[in-house]
């Protein structure tokens, strides 16, 4: 089916198809993961720690595209953020640098030179359609976690053969869409494999699958964003690998095993962690190939962290990440898939707010702004740090104090920053939360009926364009029309 036909709703499934799945003749075989050949000893135990020498890190200070110049104003690509505030809607908004998005993609492309690779941008990080169109035009593929993300990727023009459908709870309708579109699909569990087989039959297409392996590598990040350790809900543990290989073999008309995937977690700032996982993964791939599967793809997921603290710390770059796995990939003649989200988009954006007022309660000082946890939830959800600055210079005699930066939402967890030193801002002053390009707008809600904000970007020529409308109260009322 042509990609454009897939953009609306998934095709209707035969009535009752979901319910009948477990009574299909293949289901019994598929849901018995305990009857399997034992794995070779090398895969039953944890793999040895990385055995390769680490290449000398090429780390460099990461640049920020929102910077204060000598005049004390914050600029984005030469444009004063204060001036953008004058022309933008008078409400909190996200402001991106389009050139920085391009620079971030370029950094990955340069790092990947000499390898056959796919940059699968993780759409969950930021699903703005204009940004997706830009990323696909720059040659990125996409990583999807829902049927709607797949529809949006197709709408944005992504090549489905450079897209991967991930997830631990993919439903049958979405899998049918994926099978029709011809994207790679990761197998996460026994029931997932069962559903992918069913989707292949319904669509009439054989599905290119990767096994999502859980390598039990500690990514050393907040537990909520760790995904590749053994207690995680994601992926297949090594003791079950043989069952999955047998199950794939049993379905030659529905499944073609093309690779292995892992994703360790997010905000990772040590490349050794990726190397440990890659060593583990190529051992897996050796084993899978030894059983006659001709697999070509190693997908090492996303997860590279960024410089949220703006301390000037030296952090690994895309080149450091790729260099640490390059030899392993080449030694097995593999195509490499990577799935960056944060490291492609986070540093390209600020969340721009206005100060509503300043208050003191007991010993605490608060700067109250118009934005909140509804538009940007990472600090409230993970205690995440994102750098905060005023956009304009303050008078030289302005008192510097320690403030919590809070929003108007009716929750004590509604903070964007804790204990930040700032010159006392005046009412109406602009205040930005940096590095807001990833997992900020895409995680925004309408809690307290704070409608999702508009988005703008600064283009190469310094012009500013709106790239997403802000939601309105009328949009909310529309959800009830005709009921
Ligand atoms: C499977 C998968 N791939 C890629 C990503 C993107 O991760 P990051 O934004 O940290 O690069 C995620 C999110 O953690 C993920 O779950
Ligand atoms: N939402 C997380 C990242 C989750 C990554 C998805 N597996 C964050 O804001 O940092």
Beta-bridged to residue 205, according to DSSP, are none
Which ligand does the CA of 435 lie closest to?
Answer: 2
| Per-residue pLDDT of the chain in tens (483 residues, 90 and over written 9) | 333 333 333 333 333 222 222 233 233 333 333 344 445 554 444 443 333 333 444 454 456 899 999 999 999 999 999 999 999 999 999 999 999 999 999 999 999 999 999 999 999 999 999 999 999 999 999 999 999 999 999 999 999 999 999 999 999 999 999 999 999 999 999 999 999 999 999 999 999 999 999 988 888 888 888 888 888 888 888 788 999 999 999 999 999 999 999 999 989 999 999 999 999 999 999 999 999 999 999 999 999 999 999 988 889 999 999 999 999 999 999 999 999 999 999 999 999 999 999 999 989 999 999 999 999 999 999 999 999 999 999 888 889 999 999 999 999 999 999 999 999 999 999 999 999 999 999 999 999 999 999 999 999 999 999 999 999 999 999 999 999
Question: Length of the chain in residues, anyone?
Answer: 483
Find out whether 410 and 459 touch, Cβ atoms under 8 Å.
no
- For ligand 1, the distance from its centroid to the CA atom of residue 125, given in whole angstroms, is 8
Find out whether 440 and 351 touch, Cβ atoms under 8 Å.
yes
Find out whether 158 and 133 touch, Cβ atoms under 8 Å.
no
Ramachandran angles phi, psi of 466, nearest 5°: -80, 130
Ramachandran angles phi, psi of 140, nearest 5°: -75, 150
**Which residue puts its alpha carbon closest to atom 9 of ligand 2?**
439
Find out whether 122 and 339 touch, Cβ atoms under 8 Å.
yes
149 closest CA partner among 129, 172, 134, 176: 129
Tell me if residue 345 falls in helix, strand or coil. helix
Question: How far is residue 172's CA from residue 175's CA, in Å, rounded to a whole number?
Answer: 5
Ligand 1 pocket member 301 (CB < 6 A): yes
Ligand 2 pocket member 378 (CB < 6 A): yes
Ligand 1 pocket member 299 (CB < 6 A): no
Within 10 angstroms of residue 204's Cβ, the number of other Cβ atoms is 9
Ligand 2 pocket member 221 (CB < 6 A): no
Question: How far is residue 32's CA from residue 217's CA, in Å, rounded to a whole number?
Answer: 27
Q: What Cα–Cα distance (Å) separates residue 131 from each residue in 128, 161, 211, 457?
A: 5, 20, 29, 10
Ligand 2, pocket-test mutation among 227, 439, 440, 442, most atoms within 8 A of CB: 439
Q: What Cα–Cα distance (Å) separates residue 483 from each residue in 201, 363, 477, 479?
A: 37, 50, 11, 9
Ligand 1 pocket member 302 (CB < 6 A): yes
Residue 54's pLDDT is: 38
Ramachandran angles phi, psi of 376, nearest 5°: -150, 100
Ligand 1 pocket member 318 (CB < 6 A): no
**Looking at 65, 76, 410, 440, which residue is catalytic?**
410
Pairing mode, strands 430-433 and 388-390: antiparallel
Residue 199's pLDDT is: 98
- For ligand 1, the distance from its centroid to the CA atom of residue 166, given in whole angstroms, is 10
Ligand 2 pocket member 225 (CB < 6 A): yes
Ligand 1 pocket member 125 (CB < 6 A): yes
- For ligand 1, the distance from its centroid to the CA atom of residue 111, given in whole angstroms, is 19
Question: How far is residue 140's CA from residue 390's CA, in Å, rounded to a whole number?
Answer: 34
Residue 10's pLDDT is: 31
Which ligand does the CA of 168 lie closest to?
Answer: 1
Q: Is 350 a catalytic residue?
A: no
Ligand 1 pocket member 228 (CB < 6 A): no
Which ligand does the CA of 223 lie closest to?
Answer: 2
Which ligand does the CA of 302 lie closest to?
Answer: 1
**Which residue puts its alpha carbon closest to atom 8 of ligand 2?**
439
Helix axes 271-290, 241-249, angle to 10 degrees: 50
102 closest CA partner among 453, 480, 472, 459: 459
Q: What Cα–Cα distance (Å) separates residue 362 from each residue in 355, 358, 389, 404, 419?
A: 21, 14, 24, 13, 15
Ligand 1 pocket member 219 (CB < 6 A): no
> What is the DSSP annotation of 107-124?
HHHHHTTTS-EEEEEEGG
- For ligand 1, the distance from its centroid to the CA atom of residue 84, given in whole angstroms, is 31
Question: How far is residue 351's CA from residue 368's CA, in Å, rounded to a whole number?
Answer: 15
Model-wide pTM > 0.90: no
Ligand 2 pocket member 436 (CB < 6 A): no
- Ligand 2 atom, smallest distance to 263 CA: 7
- Ligand 1 atom, smallest distance to 302 CA: 11
- For ligand 1, the distance from its centroid to the CA atom of residue 301, given in whole angstroms, is 6
- For ligand 1, the distance from its centroid to the CA atom of residue 222, given in whole angstroms, is 14
Handedness of CA 168, 169, 173, 174 (dihedral sign): negative
Residue 230's pLDDT is: 82
- For ligand 1, the distance from its centroid to the CA atom of residue 122, given in whole angstroms, is 6
- For ligand 2, the distance from its centroid to the CA atom of residue 226, given in whole angstroms, is 9
């Amino acid at each position: 089916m042509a990609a454009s036909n897939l953009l609306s709703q998934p095709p209707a499934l035969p009535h009752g198809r979901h319910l009948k799945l477990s009574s299909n003749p293949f289901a019994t075989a598929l849901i018995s993961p305990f009857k399997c050949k034992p794995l070779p000893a090398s895969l039953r135990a944890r793999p040895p720690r990385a055995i390769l020498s680490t290449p000398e890190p090429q780390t460099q200070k990461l640049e920020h595209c929102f910077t204060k110049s000598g005049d004390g104003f914050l600029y984005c690509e030469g444009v004063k953020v204060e001036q953008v505030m004058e022309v933008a809607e008078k409400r909190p908004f996200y402001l991106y640098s389009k050139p920085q998005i391009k620079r971030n993609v370029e950094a990955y492309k340069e790092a990947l030179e000499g390898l056959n690779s796919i940059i699968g941008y993780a759409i969950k990080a930021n699903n703005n359609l204009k940004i997706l169109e830009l990323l696909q035009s720059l040659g990125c593929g996409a990583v999807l976690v829902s049927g709607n993300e797949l529809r949006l990727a197709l709408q944005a023009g992504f090549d489905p053969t450079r897209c991967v459908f991930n997830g631990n709870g993919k439903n049958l309708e979405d899998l049918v869409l994926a099978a029709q579109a011809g994207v790679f699909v990761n197998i996460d569990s026994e029931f997932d494999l069962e559903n992918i087989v069913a989707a292949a039959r319904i669509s009439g297409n054989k599905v290119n699958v990767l096994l999502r392996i859980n390598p039990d590598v500690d990514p050393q990040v907040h537990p909520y964003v760790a995904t590749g350790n053994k207690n995680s809900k994601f992926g297949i543990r090594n003791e079950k690998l043989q069952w999955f290989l047998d199950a794939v073999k049993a379905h030659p008309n529905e499944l073609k095993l093309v690779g292995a995937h892992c994703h360790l977690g997010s905000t990772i700032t040590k490349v050794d962690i990726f190397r440990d996982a890659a060593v583990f993964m190529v051992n897996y791939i050796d084993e899978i190939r030894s059983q006659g599967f001709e697999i070509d793809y190693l997908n090492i997921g996303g997860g590279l962290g960024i410089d949220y603290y703006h301390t000037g710390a030296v952090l690994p770059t895309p080149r450091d990440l790729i260099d640490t796995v390059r030899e392993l990939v080449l030694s097995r003649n593999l195509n490499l898939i990577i799935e960056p989200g944060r490291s492609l988009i986070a540093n390209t954006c600020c969340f721009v707010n206005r100060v509503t007022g300043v208050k003191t309660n007991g010993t605490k000082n608060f700067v109250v702004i118009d934005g909140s946890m509804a538009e940007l939830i990472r600090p409230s959800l993970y205690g995440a740090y994102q750098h905060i600055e005023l956009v304009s210079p303050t008078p030289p005699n302005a008192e510097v104090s320690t403030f919590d930066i809070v929003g108007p939402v009716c929750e004590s967890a509604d903070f964007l920053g804790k204990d930040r030193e700032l010159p006392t801002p005046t009412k109406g002053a602009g205040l930005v939360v940096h590095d807001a390009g990833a997992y900020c707008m895409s995680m925004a809600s309408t809690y307290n009926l704070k409608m999702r904000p508009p988005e703008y970007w600064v283009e190469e020529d310094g012009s500013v364009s709106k790239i997403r409308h802000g939601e309105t109260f009328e949009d909310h009322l529309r959800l009830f029309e005709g009921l």
